[in-house]
Amino acid sequence: MGRYFGTDGIRGRTGTWPMTPEFALRLGHAVGEVLGRQTPGPVLVGKDTRVSGYMFESAMESGLAAAGTDVALLGPMPTPAIAYLTRTFRAAAGVVISASHNPYEDNGFKFFTPEGDKLPDEMERAIEERLDQPMGALDSHRLGKAVRIADAAGRYIEFCKSAIPARSELRGLCMVVDCAHGATYNVTPQVFDELGAEVETMGVQPDGYNINDDCGALYPEQLRLRVLATGAHLGIALDGDGDRVIMVDETGEIVDGDEILGILALSDHADGVFTGGVVGTQMSNLGLELALGAASIPFVRARVGDRYVLEELRRNGWHLGGEGSGHIVCLTHTTTGDGTVAALRVAHLMHRTGRPLSELRKVVRKCPQVLINVPVEGQAAPLLEAPTVQAMVQQVSAELGRDGRVLLRPSGTEPLVRVMVEGGDGEQVERAAQRIADAIRDALSAAPVDLRTAHR
């Protein structure tokens, strides 16, 4: 990670540096200088529904214009929509003002290249270097202009629908769609409605403060209850910016990203149309790897983050990858995680085969896995290297043996250390994860870290 850039752009608490109007202004200018001058065309700027989006949108627009870069404003739009529209508008770059699954108090910036890909490290470094230089403004005749794109939602809806074969429909399928009061509230329900599904909605009344608030992909419990109460065939839960999805089957069971990956890969393999392999992450459940291996489908693990999944897909020439959190990348159709597209592909498979989601998900038998998030202040890497923490990890790994895994990693988006333990015995895994989490808390208490190095 860079000085400002984390695993997925720049993110932090609104009002605390760097998530301030001044920084957004300077960032817009730096992006205009670095990206706007490399490729002709405007920079597209979209956002999710958090209240601070208005402020950051205006500041970003001003910075870009000061650098002589034209701006096309999209308003509230899902992150994958901005990746798609950046390509189709032949834009110089795409900017998403969003903190994804974080609460409304946070916000952030994500960026896309003209091809709709996340920025490579060298471009992020160039932007950070430009941020260190004085900011000015061009003469009036060279300033950028701004326009607002009125039909962005309609373009993205048609793009999503093209993810399934032409003339396909979902008539007779009943679903509940939870948009987390986020950026998908005005597009995803329309995608399924226009394909003939019977759609009941949740989380489609954003007020600037309720994004991801006990709803969406991180909190699917209310969706699960609504699916059971309505007798729907499935539930779909998106996060605040729409790049991840968690599903609920007709029995009320949660279907996560690892299971969705298995469903998509193994159904295509059974139909004889799957090529290549699947990319997961260090956090992917061992059960997914075993299910794919049984079908002789190659599987590799990337670092956590959809940008690293994408890099590994491109390196291998494959087309399907994702994370248990619900980032699903289908390179046959998208260039980034797209929760709507992934959910649509699963719903179409259900409709085409007549098989319920509870049956489709059985292709992946997940191993017991426990994830504990330990809040930290400051940089986590020195904390994870503490002798007491390392000793506990070694002890737990020895107890789990060859059938278990332990993974510790700092979050790239929140001030957390993520403790993941996986193995064959659920109770043993739970106890092991708690012991490691306690060791991290004890190390944190014994050696407080500098608050000035808090996460970006």
State the catalytic residues. 100
**Residue 320: which of 277, 375, 272 has the closest Cα?**
277
User: Residue 272 carries which side chain, given as an amino acid letter?
Assistant: G
What is the spatial distance between Cα 42 and Cα 149, in angstroms, rounded to a whole number? 12
Residues 6+ apart with CB under 8 A from 81: 46, 74, 152, 153, 156, 159, 183, 187, 242
Neighbours of 147 (CB within 10 A): 10
Cα angle, residue 138 at apex, residues 132 and 140 outer, rounded to 5°? 155
Residues 6+ apart with CB under 8 A from 168: 195, 348, 351, 352
User: Residue 13 carries which side chain, given as an amino acid letter?
Assistant: R
Q: Which helix (H) or strand (E) holds 45?
A: strand 43-47
What is the spatial distance between Cα 233 and Cα 218, in angstroms, rounded to a whole number? 21
What is the spatial distance between Cα 369 and Cα 325, in angstroms, rounded to a whole number? 13
What is the spatial distance between Cα 36 and Cα 63, in angstroms, rounded to a whole number? 11
Tokens 């979050």 locate to 411
Q: Are 278 and 320 in contact (CB under 8 A)?
A: yes
